[in-house]
Amino acid sequence: MQVLLLQVLFYHPEGKLMSEKLTNEQKHILFNEGTEPAGSSSLNYEKREGHYCCAGCGTKLFESTSKYESGSGWPSFFESVPNVFETKIDTLIGSPRTEYHCKKCGGHHGHIFDDGPKPTGKRYCNNGICLVFVPEKK
Ligand SMILES: [Zn+2]
């Protein structure tokens, strides 16, 4: 209930109420820690310059310059915008994984692995459905 109330209060920077646009699948992944099928997100193929925002609240989470092709089937980043995520350990699949979620709306985005490229060595494996890509205005 609290999550729903919070969602209503958050507006996209462009003035659109984000929660009105969330599909049931987005809500499931963001707020029930679901996972989209590998390879299902069109953002896997997004190569333009810009940034990626939280679908739940519009917070900027990743720059396109930190996106890379991991081959995992999910949009992958080696670095997030500073201070936008909180992490916790989940054991949903038996072995512990580091789950991360949006600090502002609490939306679950994915898991962090230690097999990313330099310089961070991290892989933010993000559900594409939880991200909104904003192309850079030229
Ligand atoms: Zn959020």
| Domains of the chain listed by start with CATH number | 2-135 (2.170.150.20)
Q: How far is the CA of 96 from the centre of ligand 1 (A)?
A: 23
Mean pLDDT of the 78-103 span: 94
Closest CA to 133 of 73, 47, 70, 69: 47
Is the backbone of residue 15 left (phi > 0), alpha (psi -120 to 50) or beta?
left
Residue 15: phi and psi, rounded to 5, are 95, 5
Please give the pLDDT value at position 92.
80
Count, residues in the chain: 138
The one-letter amino acid code at 75 reads: P
What are the helix and strand counts (H, E) for the chain?
A: 3, 9
Residue 128 scores a pLDDT above 50: yes
Average pLDDT in the chain: 89
Q: How far is the CA of 38 from the centre of ligand 1 (A)?
A: 22
Known catalytic residue at 125: yes
Mean pLDDT of 92-115: 94
List residues, by chain if needed, whose CB lies under 5 Å from ion ligand 1.
54, 56-57, 59, 102, 104-105, 107
Kindly tell me if the per-residue pLDDT of 16 is higher than 60. no
- From 12-21, 61-70, 103-112, 123-132, the region with the lowest mean pLDDT: 12-21
Expressed in angstroms and rounded, the spacing between residue 121 Cα and the centre of ligand 1 is 24
pLDDT at 88 over 80: yes
The DSSP bridge partners found for residue 111 are 99, 125
CA–CA gap between residue 99 and residue 78 (Å, rounded) = 15
The pLDDT, as a whole number, for residue 95 is 87
Residue 93 confidence (pLDDT): 81
pLDDT digits 0-9 by tens, 27-52? 999 999 999 999 999 999 999 999 99
Q: Beta-carbon neighbour count of residue 125 at 10 Å?
A: 23
**82 alpha carbon – ligand 1 mean position (Å):** 14
